[in-house]
Amino acid sequence: MAAPGLRLGAERLFEMPAVLELLSRSNSTSQAFAEVLRLPKQQLRKLLYPLQEVERFLAPDRRQDLHLRIFDPSPEDIARADKVFTATEGNRIDYVSSAVRIGHAPDLPRPEVCFIGRSNVGKSSLIKALFSLAPEVEVRVSKKPGHTKKMNFFKVGKHFTVVDMPGYGYRAPEDFVDMVETYLKERRNLKRTFLLVDSVVGIQKTDNIAIEMCEEFALPYVIVLTKIDKSSKGHLLKQVLQIQKFVNTKTQGCFPQLFPVSAVTFSGIHLLRCFIASVTGNLD
Ligand code: GDP
């Protein structure tokens, strides 16, 4: 859940000269993010707050259907989170190891977040985009579905661990359910599960396996909509509304706000980094 201080949000974009002035005086902003903030306002909103961009095309009486300002950080907080994801001498971001069962998982005491989704949903591409400020981290992106067969652990400085879970559905490893179920059930420091859904096709039958696991174990989880650059605005809006309705009516543990992303245009990536930093206690 967002800290109260994170409720300033997208409207700060309209005060951008003041925000830029403030950020240029603080050392919380990387050069790269300072350049992002100089983008034209509409482009910037699309990049940082893609759900609010979708909302613009929604009839006013439907807008409350989208819970889009529950997590609504300011550009300053987004800049701080980008710092957490930036590899430096003092903030090493590395692949740690892989495991096929929980007993082989590295013993890492930090808060942990995991990414789970159907094969080909865009999980490796998303993790690669999240780690783009740590170019030495190798996340394999495959053209063939079913690539990730193991749980891959990455540590982000002294802040938290990111776990890339095996893809499910087509060509999932045989022991997928055992491996993932045990991890979700037993991993004590797991703070949030990010469940990826392809925004082009929406929630598929196989996605229900992962949703049911999260619900059954009462885990806090979040739905991330991938590949948003692939759809027209109309199609994306339709999918967003359908998935939002599903979250509102059929889930208990799912965070009410959706996180749309594109690993190609980077839309939503900064916001997702900020949410991860927040749920792992790194923005307090
Ligand atoms: P994984 O099997 O879930 O790890 O999926 P990958 O990351 O390997 O992506 C599967 C395919 O979707 C690849 O061909 C990627 O290039 C493509 N892809 C992934 N993310 C995006 C995205 O945000 N936009 C577009 N247009 N293609 C994507």
Helix 75-84 with 269-279: angle, nearest 10 deg: 80
Out of 18-27, 58-67, 78-87, 238-247, which region has the weakest mean confidence (pLDDT)? 18-27
142 vs 20: CA distance, rounded Å = 38
Ligand 1 atom nearest to 119, measured from its CA: 2
Average pLDDT rounded to a whole number, residues 183-202? 96
Ligand 1 atom nearest to 142, measured from its CA: 8
The model's pTM: 0.90
Residue 253 φ then ψ, to 5°: -95, -5
Average pLDDT rounded to a whole number, residues 142-151? 61
Average pLDDT rounded to a whole number, residues 113-129? 94
235 vs 233: CA distance, rounded Å = 6
What is the model's pLDDT at position 146?
46
Residue 199 CB–ligand 1 contact under 6 Å = no
Residue 262 CB–ligand 1 contact under 6 Å = yes
Query: Of 125, 127, 201, which is best to mutate to test ligand 1, by the most ligand atoms within 8 angstroms of its C-beta?
Result: 125
Pair of tokens at residue 98: 């892989």
| Protein residue whose Cα sits closest to atom 25 of ligand 1 | 227
Instruction: Report how far ligand 1's centroid is from the alpha carbon of 71 (Å).
Output: 26
Strand blocks (E) in the chain: 93-99, 112-117, 151-156, 160-164, 190-198, 221-226, 259-260
Residue 152 CB–ligand 1 contact under 6 Å = no
Instruction: Report how far ligand 1's centroid is from the alpha carbon of 25 (Å).
Output: 38
What is the model's pLDDT at position 7?
43
267 vs 274: CA distance, rounded Å = 13
7 vs 73: CA distance, rounded Å = 6
Q: What is the CA radius of gyration of the chain?
A: 18
Looking at the chain, the whole-number percentage of residues with pLDDT higher than 70 is 85
| Protein residue whose Cα sits closest to atom 19 of ligand 1 | 122
Instruction: Report how far ligand 1's centroid is from the alpha carbon of 98 (Å).
Output: 21
In one letter, which amino acid is 107? D
105 vs 99: CA distance, rounded Å = 5
What is the model's pLDDT at position 102?
87
